[in-house]
Amino acid sequence: MLEFEDTESGKIHRFYVVDSHHHIGSDVDGHNNRNPVAPGGTFDFYVKVGGRLSQLFSDKPDIFRFSPHGFLNECVRNNEKWKDTLEGTWAVDQTVVFPFNDDFKWREGDEGNAIYWRSNDNISRWVTRAPYSLRLIGFGRVVPTEGKLAINELHRMVETLGLRGLKVHPRSDGWSSIIVSPEVKNILVEAAKLNVPVLFDTRGFGQVMDIYEVTNMARSELQSMDKALVTNLKVIMAHIGFHLGHNELFTVLSHPNIYGDISGVHDAGVPRLFEEAKELLQPNLGRYRNWSEKILFGTDYNYFDVPHAVQFISYVLSKNFPGTPEDAQRILGSNVLKLVPPFKRETKTTFTKVHVPIDLAELTERALAKQVAVLVSNESYDISGIDFFIDPHPNYQVRPRDFKITISRRENNHQEDINLIVISVLDILTIARLDNNMMNSSPIKNRILRYDDAISRRSFYEKLWPKNLETNPQKMSDFIKSITQTR
């Protein structure tokens, strides 16, 4: 998390940063990032980005620093190995990772499996093990023209592997000329049913228009199927900076289901992208939507390296950026988190909850972090995912206090997930173990905890509503032990 401390007022301004385009694996073109912890890997890259940003901001009156925040800090503090692995990497908080065109994606004898199934397994292995699971969000990859095989693989990667989005690459997988097709439309419809976003590589503006067209096909099918699914259609066009000069780009981005990632943009392209977005995109969106809701930060590491990432982040945080800190927070992280559902696999646990007054919140969170540390010191336990609920506020008030954590227990081939939510509403901190219904409710699925009267949210909050408060630390600690218990 990036922090700027105003030395006069002592006020701290925070930004939660998510890289929404990043590769793990080994491409047939020679690019690779096999091990995110190795020199030159993901975490090393962020150490360099952080170092360079510190240099750049060193002459500013505000003190600049980056560090893990709140509960995550507690978790990491309790584990020397994690602390070492993640030291200095906190300029970027979380990363969406997906396969390259991997040289290991498929082998002879794999007939009957989708082309990228080995790559998807590989991503899943990285993103569901701590400490990587604290930082990495996994997307899988399919080739839509495989038809039924691709659809089945999409289900497998979301429901069994715990991946949370799909990356497709028309050019590299040889289907550029058939983007507008029933197969691609079917993949978009199925992804919407699973509530996961689909990120398209884009080369040439013709592809942008084709993706726009197939998105519309999927949208009308969803509309006739079940209107509630329409908002689950989430298409991300990668590399929108490559298409500056085509003003239609901003018509495409004003589509309610389409977003753009900026990976690859650099130098004069950075200010130009924002000037044009503000000038050309905003009028298409009307009064209730904001141009900054449509743009996602991403690095495309390791096709692009430290200079691109640093140029972009530092521009968004500079005085030249034509938006507010709220706009900056959206672009740097909140937008992508809204599109990506929290980590979830089938779960069998029952709902239970406890409430404590807010002045005991820190103590309680520390107790939970300790208990998690104790659990994962046992080989059969792991953290499969941690997801924060970040709403950008005016006045920089980003406080990643609310989160969901998944603790998994593996024994033989059996696997059990415990999903805990930690959330503060009014002056009360609530810890709850979520069952399937709660996991599928809209506040969790869409990461919007903000209370309002929408029926879908009301029933969620009714379940979470406190009847009494626990103030006895011993009882609290007993409760924490009991909810992290598997069967």
Residues that bind Zn ion (CB under 5 A): 300
- DSSP assignment of 14-60 equals EE--EEEEEE-EEBTTS-EES-TTSTTSHHHHHHHHHHHHHHHHTTS
- Using CA atoms in the order 286, 292, 295, 297, what is the torsion angle rounded to 10 degrees? 180
Q: Which residue is nearest to Zn ion (CB)?
A: 300
Nearest approach, Cβ of 172 to Zn ion (angstroms)? 9
When the beta carbons of 153 and 300 are compared against Zn ion, the nearer one is 300
Nearest approach, Cβ of 98 to Zn ion (angstroms)? 8
Nearest approach, Cβ of 468 to Zn ion (angstroms)? 51
Nearest approach, Cβ of 186 to Zn ion (angstroms)? 24
Q: What is the sign, positive or negative, of the torsion defined by CA atoms of 131, 136, 137, 142?
A: negative
Nearest approach, Cβ of 305 to Zn ion (angstroms)? 13
User: Any idea which residue has 């003003």 for tokens?
Assistant: 247
When the beta carbons of 3 and 300 are compared against Zn ion, the nearer one is 300
Residue 233 half-sphere exposure toward CB, CA atoms < 13 A: 28
Nearest approach, Cβ of 49 to Zn ion (angstroms)? 17
Nearest approach, Cβ of 167 to Zn ion (angstroms)? 8
Residue 423: name the closest of 397, 448, 458 by CA.
448
When the beta carbons of 181 and 302 are compared against Zn ion, the nearer one is 302
Q: Cα 67 to the chain's mean position, in Å?
A: 18
- DSSP assignment of 341-371 equals PPP-----PPPEEEEEEGGGHHHHHHHHHHH
When the beta carbons of 183 and 261 are compared against Zn ion, the nearer one is 261
The whole-angstrom separation of Cα 297 and Cα 330 is: 9
Contact between 430 and 354 under an 8 Å Cβ cutoff? The reply is: yes
When the beta carbons of 164 and 404 are compared against Zn ion, the nearer one is 164
Bridge partners (DSSP) of residue 136 are 95
When the beta carbons of 236 and 273 are compared against Zn ion, the nearer one is 236
The whole-angstrom separation of Cα 402 and Cα 387 is: 9
When the beta carbons of 190 and 300 are compared against Zn ion, the nearer one is 300
